Amino acid sequence: MKHTAIILLMTATALAGCGSTTTVDDYRPTAEPMDIGTGDKVAVLGRRDAGHYETDRDFINCLGNQLSKSNFQVMMEESFVDALYPWFEPRTAPKHLNRLKKIMEIPTVQEKIRSEKISYLVWLDGEVESHDMSGAMHCGLGPYAIGCFGYTSWDKVVTFEAIVWNLQDLTEEARIRVDSEGTSYVIGIVAPIPLLTRVESEACVGLGNQLLSYFTQEVE
Amino acid sequence: MRRNSGYPGHGSKLHLYMMALMIAGTALLSGCAKNHKVKSDFPDMVVEPVDLRVVLVMNNDFRTYTAKPNKKDRIQLGEAQTEALTKAFKGLFSDVNVVYSWQRGGPDADLVITPAVREVQLSSPSDSYQTVFEVWIKYSLDISTADGVPIDSWFLPAYGKTPYSYLFSRSKAIEEATIMALRDTGAKLMLDFFRIPAINGWMQQHFAANEQP
């Protein structure tokens, strides 16, 4: 009975600690909603030019799925990069609007964007970092028993920035920064029990909802 | 007295044979190089082609090329690099004729381009202590006129890496990094090919000569 109470207490403490804090900051040059026609697409792309990290593909897919809940179509990274090859490869992808404007002067690129009906491009840049690992967990295998005992925890910080480019007007429509942090635990009581913080999914939902709030569907 | 069979020493001999077999097997397996086949499926380039007739010479060695970046890995590049470079040059020029040998190029060509692999390098997480696989491919492009007058021999480096290595098998990761490097070849060609001073100069002369009545 006493042991059960201790285990319950530990689990409750750990679960309470698994919560995360998410902050979404945005900047828009105008408060006007972003119009998107029926059948038009929003492409979601990750930055690939940094040497030491790449924008997490799972996060890009998560944001794509989040945006798919709207009425407009979402063009996933692979399809967009293939459709406009080789203009959005790590070596060639435009980092600033001026470069995008140069690329959009090329008739074949213009035609491709028009035929694919891509209205907006969402650039995602950021990473997930784990740090401050503490505690110790020991797992053993013996002739009569097998199990893990101990406790370990670590902090996870997610930082992403989304920049929205309008591919018709060639302007920047919005910048959104999302920060999310939380602590994950693994408690070893014979079997290891992971209690993981859901910082990525919270950041993804926060960013997705903010982006969705900008778009209004044009009725034709 | 311990005995495993009716014959003295039979059990220990069996153990020795088994151990020797296992050691030999392990040594054999670790010594064997693994082949990684790279899939050949690349998108068309979205560029404005230059109005030139080009012969692209890719011989059998190039088309069946297998890179040996280390003792453990063999990357079967031939089919994929043939496809990637064919699509890249078909994007750059309006008329591209892909042939096995120079002689089959025909006399009507403006340029003859012969690619060759100089070197392929591979870096895995165990080498670099990073979480990614990286591939470098170094090509040389011999560019000449249809008459065989050399214009330039251009060094074309390409680089590719996996986003991370956790979810990939070694083979899949090497394939992914190689595909990225081959895609980078197209990007590099599109950016820099017409900026090669010798090519740029030759093109200016060529178009000026063709404009004259």
Q: Give the pLDDT confidence of A85-117 residue by residue, as tens digits.
A: 999 999 999 999 999 999 999 999 999 999 999
Q: Do the chains contact at B42 and A85, CB–CB below 8 Å?
A: yes
**ipTM, two decimals:** 0.81
Q: Which long-range contacts (CB under 8 A, 24 or more apart) does A198-201 make?
A: A198/A18, A198/A20, A199/A20, A199/A22, A199/A128, A199/A156, A199/A157, A199/A158, A200/A56, A200/A58, A200/A59, A200/A62, A200/A128, A200/A158, A201/A62
What is the pLDDT at residue B101?
Answer: 87
Residue B32 has pLDDT above 80, yes or no: no
Range of the domain at A27: 2-217
Report the CATH architecture of B36-211. Answer: 3-Layer(aba) Sandwich (3.40)
Q: Tell me if A86 and B187 make a contact (CB, 8 A cut-off).
A: yes
Asked if B188 and A87 come within 8 Å (Cβ–Cβ), the reply is no
A91 and B188 within 8 Å at the Cβ level: the answer is: yes
User: What share of chain A has pLDDT > 90, as a percent?
Assistant: 49
Token code pair at residue A51: 């040497």
pLDDT(B102) > 80: no
pLDDT of residue B165 exceeding 60, the answer is: no
pLDDT, tens digit (0-9, with 9 covering 90-100), for A157-198: 999 999 999 999 999 999 999 999 989 888 888 888 888 888
Closest CA in chain B for residue A78: B43
For A52, nearest residue in chain B (alpha carbons): B130
Report the C-alpha gap between B120 and A62 in whole angstroms.
Answer: 35
Contact B160, B77 (CB under 8 A): no
Number of domains in chain A: 1
Domain ranges of chain B: 1-32, 36-211
Closest approach of B106 to chain A, Cα-based (Å): 30
The nearest CA of chain B is from the CA of A44 a distance in Å of 17
Q: What is the pLDDT of residue B5?
A: 43
